Structure 1
Amino acid sequence: MALTLDQLNAATPADAARMLDGLYEHSPWIAEAAIAQRPFRSLAHLKHTMVQVLDQAGREAQLALIRAHPELAGKAMVSNTLTAESTHEQSKAGLTQCTPAEFAQIQQLNADYNAKFGFPFILAVRGPRGTGLNKREIIDTFERRLHHHPDYELRECLRNIHRIVEIRLNDKFGAEPALGNLVWDLHERLAEFSDPGFAEKGQLTVTYLTDAHRAAAQRIAQDMREAGFDEVAIDAVGNVVGRYHASQPGARTLLTGSHYDTVRNGGKYDGRLGIFTPLACVRELARQGRRLPFHFEVVGFAEEEGQRYKATFLGSGALMNDFHPEWLEQKDADGITMREAMQHAGLPATLEAIGALRRDPGAYLGFVEVHIEQGPVLNGLDLPLGIVTSINGGVRYLCEVIGMASHAGTTPMNQRRDAATAVAELALYLEQRAARDGDSVGTIGILQVPGGSTNVVPGRCQFTLDLRAPTDAQRDAMVADVLAELAIICERRGVRHTVEETMRAAAAPSAPAWQQRWEHAVDALGVPLYRMPSGAGHDAMKLHEVMPQAMLFVRGQNAGISHNPLESTTSDDMQLAVEAFQRLLNQLASDTP
């Protein structure tokens, strides 16, 4: 029979320890230390308490825990000396039915891993959804992680141990993340669509108004109808718009959503998590026959990434009458204009139709967005959710340093006018200057020597600057310092430079009242509050220009990597995101007359 939190909270320390036996491999002390901090408000609270116990225990205790785990498909499995929990998990992943070749490969990987790190490879083989990774996924992960730095890999092992414990804890308490599983499955179904040239390689790429993009829009529309939305339509720029009606006419509207286009060879959750999380909320409202005192509008924005056309935030911008007429004449790599792509997709492709999409900000309560973090912070802290305080403002520049190309063998070091070393010096300064603020970031993403040669001192060096910070003032102070340092470096080295601004976006601080709603929702789950800026841009930046906005981040796996096929999150974290959104809706309902 499944345990309950009430039973755990009321039990004696000895009985509570027995209830939690088997969570951490041969290491009952972690659960015992956590029990001393009862009562637990939720399973999420219990999980994080155990995470903190291990985090505070120190490196030697952490290494001992890792070494208490068996190798995957190792000697303990062969000799039947695995714990019952490990036997179940390795069996579920098919590791007890390896072919001789697979077994030999895993044994070699085990040996190589132990030789490099001095502890066994730990992987939560039941995976992000809890249903099990297949052997190919396990072996590929094993091979990839062999190349990690030892300190990073120790943290990765601990993160996987916590995931193993999370699944074991769910089993003990009969807790199934049903809505998280739903959201997970919707992502998997949508990932079936990918552009030609990528689909054949198993890569996910969905760019604006391609056949895959249009099929994805139709799938989202179908999912919305099945969830119980009252109105579902695809608008004049390809946004998928679902509306769940209020309990009475004339009510204002809460707007949410995110984008469904992707970068090339990207991940499954960037943007799309912000569509399917509120969809799950609507599904539950419809299932309960419940109406809110406000309309609930969920938009799958057609374009945010600017991959096929240089028209970033096209989908969300269209709702604010921020569609640039010249975009219609832009051509993609195949020479197809946006107007032609729209017409091929059955869209009007007229400024009149696009202009009609403009929303009246006065009719809206605000905009909220759920998004995968796209960074390593929450993953490193072992926290499932984060409260966004501001979306960073950013400026981008295209720059060039011009020196003098000369013979690499005959030009003395003190007489060179090397353009590349000037930029290299700036790159080191940028790294130090951005770090000085703590939450500013600066990147030279492109650095190239046109026509460079092994035996020629670089006469030209082209590079980009991407400078971001949570406030415009903080960003502008960093910009001023970096550009001033560039001038100083060039003057000292006898080279000159050019700087062209290519993009400027204002910071988008979260509206305090809406940020507090997310905070109250997360706190009600028993999850610690963690406030953080967003370094990436989001559709919420556009909506911020006309209405209050606030965002919720969901932890990413694999060190939070995004814009990458390894982008991932768990159905348990998705479940918490859905529950937080439900609580926000309930708060807003109680506050709305």
Structure 2
Amino acid sequence: MAPSSLRPPRHHPSPLVVLAIAVLLVLRTADGLPEAGGGGGGGGLYREILRDETVQRLKELGKISDGDGYLERTFLSPASIRATGVIVSWMKDAGLTTWVDQMGNIHGRYEPANSTRDALLIGSHMDTVVDAGMYDGALGIISAISALKVLKVTGKLQRLTRPVEVIAFSDEEGIRFQTTFLGSAAVAGTLPESILQVSDKSGTTLQDVLKMNSFEATSTAISQARYNPESVGSYVEVHMEQGPVLEALHYPLGVVKGIAGQTRLKVIVDGSQGHAGTVPMKLRRDPMVAAAELVVTLERLCKEPNSLLTYDEECSCFTEESLAGLVCTVGELNTWPSASNVIPGQVNFTVDIRAMDDQVRETIVTSFSRLVLQKCDDRLVDCKVEHKHSAAATHCDPELTSQLKRAARSTVSAMPGRTVAAGETPVLMSGAGHDAMAMARLTKIGMLFVRCRGGISHSPEESVMDNDVWAAGLALFNFIDQNAVSEELDAGQNVVAVALAVAES
């Protein structure tokens, strides 16, 4: 046995080291980190909330509908009012203070004590198209609520250093009043006073609908929904891709660098109503065939724009790159009196034109308007083109895009059974409009896309895999953690490291 003078001294942990280890264990537990050999919320990557509960809530919200056997939930409809109560209860469950503003937007906010920082807003829309799927809009709302609920159960909600707010916007699709972003434009402060007199198909004005739902329905009241730009630091939106790119790349998440500009038109064609069996073909002023020719003309214009442009309309921006995002759609066509044995007296149809390049979009709108008048003249019918909506292309903030990209990359690398490398997060352009376009008038924006099956959207066939819902929620949780949670945990861990170093020295 070695002499006692040669044996290494037996060190007992000093009180400082014991305290340091205890602090570290408490911090790890509060943060939801997995303990050695265990799973728990952190070890399971918060699966129960970010996947299982989120998917269940998506299904629950998807059943709240005005349609009989299909999903339809438009601006301040009865189903929308029922959905409001459900969403408010979920926000409260996540520890948020809730209210509904004068445009029907639902807000859930956590306000740190004595915070002087500007707010992080996260949102999407609660309204749907007719015969919709359950993910469009709802995914962004519920994923955000779930991410904040995880912050609550891990104790991080109380360590936020900036306000974080989830907004469920009342109208993005524009189905009821044929004007998009009623909810987010109110928050951004860009709604014109005349908006109150816009009417739906039944002739009911927006003002009437607001009054019927106990809102003040005045321009002054609506202006109260507007946020002060100085109080908002950024807006982030999670949304299903509504396209096939992420699925083709075998990747669950992608970040968005920009949103295409959009113009909505309504074309009204007036002819001579008559008997289908008695009016000779050569003497007809048939608005239906004129409308059919205009629809085909629009398709050709958007497939081969240079072939129909005049010299004055041509521009240097019509390169292959600038035309890449150009799409045109006729989605609605109505006839009067719409009887099989009657030559229609009037036909009207909607036109949706989108492009990443605003100059391209505006040139297509001008060219199509010219062609409408020209071809209607040739067919001896009267035509009118009404501009219903126009929004410029929107670019996402590069810094937010980088932060979302990092959050997505760290998420995908941590997901169980991943089959893609962590460094491959795709960067996409969005051909669909989103509330982020309206919010860009208020603050800088960022968007995260989630893979969907077949790129199908605006359809009951919409489908997002449960694990991709999980990935989206975890990425958003990571993003909030990086951008709004205090550094106390890191500071505590640094204290522990210093204490151990001192004890060992």
Moved more, 333-342 or 220-229: 333-342
1:585 aligns with 2:456: no
Residues 512/478 of structure 1: CA separation in 2 closer, same or farther (3 Å cut): farther
- Aligned-pair identity in percent equals 33
Give the TM-score taking structure 2 as reference length.
Answer: 0.70
**Counterparts of 1:429 and 1:419 in 2: how far apart (Å)?**
15
What secondary structure is seen at the aligned counterpart in 2 of 1:223? Answer: helix
Alignment of 1:3-152 (within 5 A): none
Q: Cα offset for 1:267?
A: 1.6
How far apart in 2 are the matches of 1:264 and 1:211?
15
Indicate if the aligned counterparts of 1:391 and 1:508 stay in contact, CA closer than 8 A: yes
Q: Which moved more, 1:394-403 or 1:351-360?
A: 394-403
The 5-angstrom pairing of residues 279-298 of structure 1 reads: 279-290=145-156, 291-298=159-166
1:441 aligns with 2:327: yes
2:210 maps to 1:342 = yes
Given the alignment of the two structures, is residue 419 of structure 1 paired with residue 294 of structure 2, yes or no? no
Q: Distance in 2 between matches of 1:280 and 1:571?
A: 14
Structure 2 partner of 1:515: 401
Q: Which amino acid aligns with 1:378?
A: L
Q: CA deviation at 1:208?
A: 2.4
Distance 2:103 2:332 in 1: 32
Q: Cα 1:462–1:573, aligned 2, differ >3 Å: closer, same or farther?
A: same
Q: Structure 2 CA distance, aligned partners of 1:309 and 1:403?
A: 26
Q: Does residue 204 of structure 1 match 2:71?
A: yes
Deviation at 1:377, TM superposition (A): 2.9
Please state how far the C-alpha of 1:443 moved relative to its aligned partner. Answer: 1.9
Question: What residue in structure 1 maps to residue 59 of structure 2?
Answer: 188
Picking from 87, 109, 112, the partner of 1:220 is 87
Contact 1:392 / 1:536 at 8 angstroms: preserved in 2? yes
SS in 2 for 1:359: coil
* Residues 462/264 of structure 1: CA separation in 2 closer, same or farther (3 Å cut): closer
What secondary structure sits across from 1:212 in the alignment? helix
User: Equivalent residues in 2 for 1:497-516 (5 A)?
Assistant: 498-516=384-402
Shift of 1:324: 3.9
Q: 2:426 aligns with which of 530, 535, 550?
A: 530
Among candidates 464, 469, 483, match of residue 355 of structure 2: 469
Deviation at 1:403, TM superposition (A): 9.4
For the structure 1 residues 489 and 343, does the alpha-carbon distance in structure 2 shift closer, same or farther, using more than 3 Å as the test? closer
- Counterpart of 2:136? 270
Answer whether contact 1:423 1:461 (CA < 8 A) is retained: no
Secondary structure (helix, strand or coil) at the match of 2:304 reads helix
Of residues 101, 108, 127, the one that matches 1:261 is 127
Structure number, greater radius of gyration: 2
CA deviations over 1:540-573 (Å, ceiling 9, x no partner): 111111211121111222x222222222212111
Structure 1 unmatched ranges of 5 or more? 1-172, 412-417
Structure 2 CA distance for partners of 1:523 and 1:477, relative to 1, 3 Å: farther
Q: Distance in 1 between matches of 2:45 and 2:403?
A: 26
Unaligned runs of 5+ in 2: 1-42, 283-288, 306-318, 413-421, 489-505
Q: Following the alignment from structure 1 to structure 2, what is the Cα–Cα distance between the partners of residues 536 and 321?
A: 22
Q: Residue 542 of structure 1: which of 413, 416, 438 is its match?
A: 438
What does 1:290-329 correspond to in 2, within 5 Å? 290=156, 291-329=159-197
Residue deviations 1:93-139, cap 9 Å, x none? Answer: xxxxxxxxxxxxxxxxxxxxxxxxxxxxxxxxxxxxxxxxxxxxxxx
Counterparts of 1:384-463 in structure 2, within 5 Å, are 384-399=252-267, 419=290, 422-423=293-294, 425-433=296-304, 437-446=323-332, 463=349
User: Could you tell me whether the CA contact under 8 Å between 1:268 and 1:565 is conserved in 2?
Assistant: yes
1:548 is matched by which residue type in structure 2? Answer: K
Go from structure 1 to structure 2 and tell me whether the alpha carbon gap of 1:461 and 1:433 turns closer, same or farther (over 3 Å shift).
Answer: farther
The 1-side partners of 2:436 and 2:114 are apart by 27
Q: Residues 500 and 180 from structure 1, CA distance in 2 versus in 1: closer, same or farther, beyond 3 angstroms?
A: same
Kept in 2, the 8 Å contact 1:419–1:459? The answer is no
Given that 2:160 and 2:486 are in contact with CA atoms closer than 8 Å, whether structure 1 keeps it comes out as: no
- Aligned with 1:319: secondary structure? helix
From the superposition, tell whether residues 303 and 421 of structure 1 become closer, same or farther in structure 2 (CA, over 3 Å). Answer: closer
Q: Which amino acid aligns with 1:370?
A: V
| 1:250 match: secondary structure | coil
Q: Secondary structure of 2:188's match?
A: coil
Letter in 2 for 1:273: L
- Rounded to whole Å, the distance in 2 between the matches of 1:546 and 1:438 is 28
CA spacing shift, 1:486–1:213, aligned 2, 3 Å: closer
CA separation in 1, counterparts of 2:199 and 2:291? 33
Question: Matched residue of 1:298: which SS?
Answer: strand
Residue 572 of structure 1 is matched in structure 2 by 467
Any idea what the Cα deviations from partners look like across 1:60-106, whole Å, max 9, x if unmatched? xxxxxxxxxxxxxxxxxxxxxxxxxxxxxxxxxxxxxxxxxxxxxxx
Given the alignment of the two structures, is residue 362 of structure 1 paired with residue 230 of structure 2, yes or no? yes
Aligned length: 411
User: For structure 1, which segment, 184-193 or 484-493, has the greater mean C-alpha deviation from structure 2 after superposition?
Assistant: 484-493
Q: In the alignment, which residue of structure 2 is the partner of 1:44?
A: none
Q: Distance in 1 between matches of 2:219 and 2:130?
A: 28
1:234 aligns with 2:120: no
CA deviation after TM superposition for structure 1 residue 392, in Å: 1.1
- Specify whether residues 397 and 522 from structure 1 end up closer, same or farther in structure 2 by C-alpha distance, changes over 3 A only: same
Query: Is the helix fraction higher in 1 or 2?
Result: 1
Amino acid at match of 2:428: M
Distance 1:494 1:312, change over 3 A: closer
Of the structure 1 ranges 286-295 and 246-255, higher mean CA displacement relative to structure 2 is found in 246-255
SS of residue matched to 1:204: coil
Root-mean-square deviation (Å): 3.8
SS in 1 for 2:74: coil
Contact 2:237 2:436 in 1 (8 A): yes
Partner Cα distance (1:236, 1:490) in 2: 43
The CA distance in 2 between the partners of 1:192 and 1:503, in whole Å, is: 30
Distance, in Å, in 1 between the alignment partners of 2:296 and 2:172 is 34
Higher deviation after alignment, 423-432 or 543-552? 423-432
Counterpart Cα distance in 2 of 1:315 and 1:448: 27
Other structure's SS at 1:566 match: coil
Give the secondary structure class of the aligned counterpart of 1:348: coil
